[in-house]
């Protein structure tokens, strides 16, 4: 059985788990290519127009895969930390895909509760059964996949340059280089190192979010806020860039909370959507770096 | 302490009953208006949803009249509404205004003790004893149920009435008279009277009006200002409308949620298309669309604010329902830029379409 894995949304964070799991089960894998113009166009064509860019891109990846595999993984991430959510669109992602893209092959849409090993295993058991009847094999695949995922280190931690900038935002905006137009490379070329939220330990993030009146109930909002607040307090970076997709409901809240927290600390929001022009983005990034370099603020 | 609360449809009538009954001083923000929206948009982040902006406008207008405490229900996600309170607190701090926020959250999130503390912040200002306070609360709930019932009846009967405009007139004078009463008891009497009068409105049972279900995001469908008074307009057109989501439905739903026995019928009907909750009222929207078709409605209108995350999921699913059940559904997105003329044109075109479909001049695919 050929399993299709779209390279969109949380693929960037959890691909070691998924690829290892299916490989160990002995199925063939097709992974869509890095996001490109064709994929984005397909996504925009199929997706409901009010959705945000990452969801549109994901639709594009699924459209690319739909004739190339027998079953497509559409991870319905419900939770990755207890009592927190990701985004309402993640909970309804399989439905959005099913109803927007015609002639879909079979899909894997069982909800994923990745808060503990025990909660996640039922997902693996059920999905494994589609591919193999061997229970032991499923268990082994699950364990190997988890080990791979644990070893996997994502993110940037480059403070060797003259200036350092923290890049904040959802992982699918930070690590999809087509969507963010190679922002990390651009910054490096300007002599700026980049750090991302993975460098700050979880316990430190917990400490930061305690400041909030209300417990943050979105995992990535919690990470973004905690990270921005931490690097600001410890003065680890010269400035913060928030990459946000247009009409992202969560970003509209988190950006406000971060701004409230950091006051006059250099901060720039880069809005991205399917119309973003690269020249405009370049100008803004350069201007921001210039400002940091001159120490205007 | 002068308490205020944001508007949500007819809840202000029940709020008046509650605070009058408790004997607590309160400031009612002026009914939603353009100025509130403009001021709200000015002080809100650009991409936040419409309800937030209108609410901020409400507070500002109430603060101008002397309010110093805001009462607001909360939630813990995944919809953005749960974060409103914190952002609004920050906003007023930044504006240099000392406003106390009382946020009523579910006990599962803040603990039962904290919830009790917060409720106590309100009730300790009441001159009434415990029994009197509970009585006031029950009366307010009664008022809310009555006004929701009256409104639902008026919206539905508008399609059948013999004297055009009678239902609308009754509904409007009902709200006015209810607000002019001085005690919750009088208010309930007024409402009961209007309920009877609505039952006796002359209707033509032989009429077969266009019937439309209003579905979508709860704030934008309940608060008439945010949807440019769509229900009033449909009443004028002689369309019978029905909306399942009402403040009294919300209270019942929220209280029953921990037992998972809330709105079973809606959940059952949504199951085929959306089996899990996606936050907000996305699942309800799907369930209602299916139910509306079963109940013989001619079409449904979905309304939601720009960028509303749960409703975007439902919007992606609705075309499938529409196709499979041969049931027209229109989605309308509202924000502070919505122009009335364009909005009305779309509603009128939708009604025209429903009318012509009946005559079999069009095939819907």
Residues B353 and B238 in one domain: yes
The boundaries of every CATH 3.40.50.11900 domain in chain A are 163-294
Task: Report yes or no on B45 lying in a domain.
Answer: yes
Q: Which three-class secondary structure string do you get for B179-196? A: HCCCCHHHHHHHHHHHHH
Residues B82 and B200 in one domain: no
% of chain A at pLDDT higher than 90: 59
Q: How far is CA A76 from the centre of its chain?
A: 14
Query: Residue B364 pLDDT > 60, yes or no?
Result: no
Sorted by sequence, the CB contacts under 8 Å of residue B233 that are 6+ apart come out as: B344, B347
Residues B214 and B192 in one domain: no
Q: How confident is the model at residue B170 (pLDDT cuts 50, 70, 90)?
A: very high
Q: How confident is the model at residue A141 (pLDDT cuts 50, 70, 90)?
A: very high
Q: How close, in Å, is residue B197 to chain A by CA atoms?
A: 44
Residues B228 and B356 in one domain: yes
Query: Residue A41 pLDDT > 70, yes or no?
Result: yes
Sorted by sequence, the CB contacts under 8 Å of residue B94 that are 6+ apart come out as: A260
Q: How far is CA A84 from the centre of its chain?
A: 16
Higher pLDDT, B109 or B285: B285
Interface test with B, best of A47, A88, A96, A113 (most B CBs within 10 A): A88
Query: Residue A135 pLDDT > 60, yes or no?
Result: yes
Query: Residue B67 pLDDT > 60, yes or no?
Result: yes
Q: What's the whole-number mean pLDDT along residues B239-246?
A: 93
Q: How close, in Å, is residue A158 to chain B by CA atoms?
A: 32
Q: What's the whole-number mean pLDDT along residues A91-118?
A: 90
Question: Per-residue pLDDT tens for A78-102?
Answer: 888 888 888 888 888 999 999 999 9
Residues B221 and B315 in one domain: yes
**Number of folded domains in chain B?**
3
CATH number of the domain bearing residue B347: 3.40.50.11900
B49 Cβ under 8 Å from any chain A Cβ: yes
Residues B23 and B121 in one domain: yes
What CA–CA distance (Å, rounded) separates B70 from B6? 8
By 3-state DSSP, what share of chain A in percent is helix, strand and coil, each rounded to 5? 50, 15, 35
Task: Report yes or no on B131 lying in a domain.
Answer: no
Q: What's the whole-number mean pLDDT along residues A6-33?
A: 92
Domain end position, chosen among B172, B188, B207: B207
Give the phi and the psi of residue B226 in degrees, each rounded to 5.
-70, -25
Task: Report yes or no on B120 lying in a domain.
Answer: yes
* Alpha helix positions (H), B274-334: 282-294, 309-325
Residues B216 and B346 in one domain: yes
pLDDT of residue A212: 87
Task: Report yes or no on B109 lying in a domain.
Answer: yes
On chain A, the residues whose CB falls within 8 A of the CB of B103 are 214
Q: Which residue carries 């037992």 as its tokens?
A: B259
Could you give the 3-state DSSP secondary structure of residue A121?
Answer: helix
H or E, element range at B156: helix B130-157
Q: What's the whole-number mean pLDDT along residues B20-25?
A: 90
Interface test with A, best of B47, B315, B320 (most A CBs within 10 A): B47
Query: Residue B365 pLDDT > 50, yes or no?
Result: no
Q: What is the pTM of this model?
A: 0.90
Q: What's the whole-number mean pLDDT along residues B157-177?
A: 93
On chain A, the residues whose CB falls within 8 A of the CB of B334 are none
Residues B107 and B256 in one domain: no
CB A95 within 8 A of CB B273: yes
CB A270 within 8 A of CB A166: no
Query: Residue B318 pLDDT > 50, yes or no?
Result: yes
Strand segments, DSSP code E, in A139-214 are 163-169, 192-195
Q: How close, in Å, is residue A94 to chain B by CA atoms?
A: 9
Query: Residue A295 pLDDT > 80, yes or no?
Result: no
pLDDT of residue B57: 94
CB A128 within 8 A of CB A137: yes
Residues B46 and B84 in one domain: yes
Query: Residue B361 pLDDT > 80, yes or no?
Result: no
pLDDT of residue B307: 85
In order of A260, B132, B190, the CA distances from B94 in angstroms are: 9, 39, 43
Query: What six digits make up the tokens of A190?
Result: 């300007």
Domain end position, chosen among B168, B192, B207: B207
What CA–CA distance (Å, rounded) separates A59 from A47? 6
Query: A77: nearest CA in chain B?
Result: B278
Which residue segment(s) compose the domain that B191 sits in? Answer: 144-157+160-207
On chain B, the residues whose CB falls within 8 A of the CB of A222 are none
What CA–CA distance (Å, rounded) separates B18 from B94? 31
What CA–CA distance (Å, rounded) separates B171 from B169? 5
Task: Report yes or no on B133 lying in a domain.
Answer: no
Domain at A163-294: CATH architecture: 3-Layer(aba) Sandwich (3.40)
What CA–CA distance (Å, rounded) separates B182 from B191? 13
Residues B34 and B170 in one domain: no
Give the number of other CB atoms < 10 A from CB of residue B299: 23
What CA–CA distance (Å, rounded) separates B25 from B122? 10
Query: B91: nearest CA in chain A?
Result: A260
Q: How far is CA B358 from the centre of its chain?
A: 31
Q: How confident is the model at residue A164 (pLDDT cuts 50, 70, 90)?
A: very high
Q: Which residue carries 């015609």 as its tokens?
A: A102
Q: Tell whether the torsion through CA atoms of A91, A94, A97 and A99 is positive or negative.
A: negative
For chain A, state the CA radius of gyration.
Answer: 20
Q: How close, in Å, is residue A194 to chain B by CA atoms?
A: 27
Query: What six digits make up the tokens of B271?
Result: 């199951």
What CA–CA distance (Å, rounded) separates B353 from B351? 5
Q: Tell whether the torsion through CA atoms of B222, B224, B225 and B230 is positive or negative.
A: positive
Residues B364 and B221 in one domain: yes
Query: Residue A166 pLDDT > 90, yes or no?
Result: yes
Task: Report yes or no on B280 lying in a domain.
Answer: yes
On chain B, the residues whose CB falls within 8 A of the CB of A247 are 47, 306-307
Interface test with B, best of A74, A79, A110, A214 (most B CBs within 10 A): A214
Task: Report yes or no on B63 lying in a domain.
Answer: yes
Give the number of other CB atoms < 10 A from CB of residue B223: 20
pLDDT of residue B360: 66
Identify residues of A whose CB sits under 8 angstroms from chain B CBs: 47-48, 50-51, 76, 78, 83-89, 91-92, 95-96, 98-100, 111, 212-215, 217-218, 246-253, 255-257, 260
In order of A149, B88, B252, the CA distances from A224 in angstroms are: 21, 20, 35
Question: Per-residue pLDDT tens for B112-133?
Answer: 898 889 888 888 888 888 898 9
Q: List the one residue out of B302, B42, B49, B89 whose CA is nearest residue A250.
A: B49
Residues B90 and B173 in one domain: no
Residue in A89, A252, A260 nearest the CB of B48: A252
Domain at A2-151: CATH architecture: 3-Layer(aba) Sandwich (3.40)
Report the complex ipTM: 0.87
Question: Per-residue pLDDT tens for B264-292?
Answer: 889 999 999 988 888 888 899 999 999 99
In order of B146, B187, B245, the CA distances from B153 in angstroms are: 11, 18, 14
Interface test with B, best of A50, A55, A170, A259 (most B CBs within 10 A): A50
Task: State the average pLDDT for chain A.
Answer: 90
Could you give the 3-state DSSP secondary structure of residue B103?
Answer: strand
Q: What's the whole-number mean pLDDT along residues B48-55?
A: 92
Q: How close, in Å, is residue A219 to chain B by CA atoms?
A: 10
Question: Per-residue pLDDT tens for B3-15?
Answer: 999 999 899 999 9
Query: Residue B257 pLDDT > 90, yes or no?
Result: no
Give the number of other CB atoms < 10 A from CB of residue B262: 16
Could you give the 3-state DSSP secondary structure of residue B363?
Answer: coil
């Amino acid at each position: 059985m050929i399993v299709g894995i779209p390279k969109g949304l949380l693929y960037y964070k959890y691909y070691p788990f998924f690829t290892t799991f299916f490989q160990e089960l002995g199925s063939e894998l097709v992974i869509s290519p890095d996001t490109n113009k064709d994929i984005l166009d397909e996504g925009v064509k199929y997706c409901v127009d009010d959705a945000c860019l990452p969801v549109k891109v994901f639709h594009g990846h699924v459209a690319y895969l739909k004739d190339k595999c027998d079953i497509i993984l559409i991870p319905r991430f419900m939770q990755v930390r207890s009592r927190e959510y990701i985004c309402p669109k993640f909970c309804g992602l399989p439905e959005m895909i099913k109803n927007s893209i015609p002639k879909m092959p079979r899909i894997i849409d069982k909800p994923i509760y990745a808060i503990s090993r025990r909660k996640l295993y039922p997902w693996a058991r059920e999905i494994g059964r589609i591919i193999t009847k061997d229970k032991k094999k499923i268990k082994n695949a699950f364990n190997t996949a988890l080990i791979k995922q644990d070893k996997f280190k994502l993110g940037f931690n480059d403070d060797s340059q003259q200036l350092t900038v923290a890049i904040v935002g959802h992982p699918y905006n930070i690590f999809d280089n087509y969507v963010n137009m190679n922002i990390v490379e651009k910054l490096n070329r300007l002599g700026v190192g980049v750090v991302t939220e993975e460098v700050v330990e979880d316990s430190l993030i917990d400490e930061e979010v305690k400041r909030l009146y209300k417990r943050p109930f979105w995992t990535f909002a919690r990470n973004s806020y905690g990270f921005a607040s931490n690097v600001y307090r410890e003065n680890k970076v010269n400035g913060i860039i928030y990459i946000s997709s247009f009409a992202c409901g969560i970003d509209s809240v988190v950006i406000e909370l971060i701004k409230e927290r950091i006051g006059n600390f250099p901060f720039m929001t880069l809005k991205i959507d399917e119309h973003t022009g690269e020249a405009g983005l370049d100008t803004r990034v350069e201007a921001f770096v210039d400002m940091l370099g001159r120490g205007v603020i | 302490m002068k308490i205020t609360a944001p508007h949500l449809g007819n809840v202000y009538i029940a709020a008046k009953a509650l605070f009058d009954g408790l004997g607590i001083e309160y400031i009612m923000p002026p009914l939603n208006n353009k100025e509130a929206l403009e001021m709200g948009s000015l002080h809100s982040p650009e991409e936040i949803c419409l309800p937030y902006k209108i609410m901020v406008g409400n507070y500002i207008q109430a603060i101008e009249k002397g309010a110093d405490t805001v009462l607001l229900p909360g939630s813990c996600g995944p919809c953005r509404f749960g974060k409103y309170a914190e952002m609004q607190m920050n906003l007023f701090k930044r504006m240099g205004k000392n406003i106390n926020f009382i946020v009523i959250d579910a006990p599962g999130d803040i603990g039962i003790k904290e919830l009790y503390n917060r409720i106590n912040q309100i009730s300790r200002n009441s001159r009434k004893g415990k029994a009197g306070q509970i009585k006031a609360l029950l009366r307010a709930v009664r008022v809310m149920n009555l006004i929701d019932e009256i409104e639902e009846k008026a919206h539905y009967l508008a399609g059948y009435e013999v004297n055009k405009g009678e239902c609308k007139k009754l509904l409007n004078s009902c709200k006015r008279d209810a607000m002019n009463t001085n005690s919750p008891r009088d208010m309930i009497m007024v409402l009961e009277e209007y309920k009877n009068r609505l039952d006796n409105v002359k209707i033509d049972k032989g009429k077969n009006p266009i019937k439309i279900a209003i579905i979508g995001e709860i704030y934008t469908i309940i608060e008439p200002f945010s949807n440019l008074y769509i229900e009033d307009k449909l009443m004028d057109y002689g369309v019978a409308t029905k909306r399942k989501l009402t403040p009294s439905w919300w209270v019942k739903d929220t209280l029953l949620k921990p037992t998972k026995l809330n709105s079973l019928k809606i959940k059952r009907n949504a199951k085929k298309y959306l089996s899990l909750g996606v936050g907000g009222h996305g699942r309800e929207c799907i369930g209602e669309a299916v139910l509306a078709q079963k109940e013989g409605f001619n079409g449904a209108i979905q309304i939601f604010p720009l960028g509303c995350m749960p409703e975007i999921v439902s919007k992606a699913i609705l075309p499938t329902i529409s196709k499979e059940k041969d049931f027209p559904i229109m989605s309308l997105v509202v924000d502070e830029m919505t122009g009335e003329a364009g909005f009305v044109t779309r509603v009128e075109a939708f009604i025209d379409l429903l009318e012509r479909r009946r005559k079999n001049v069009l095939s819907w695919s």
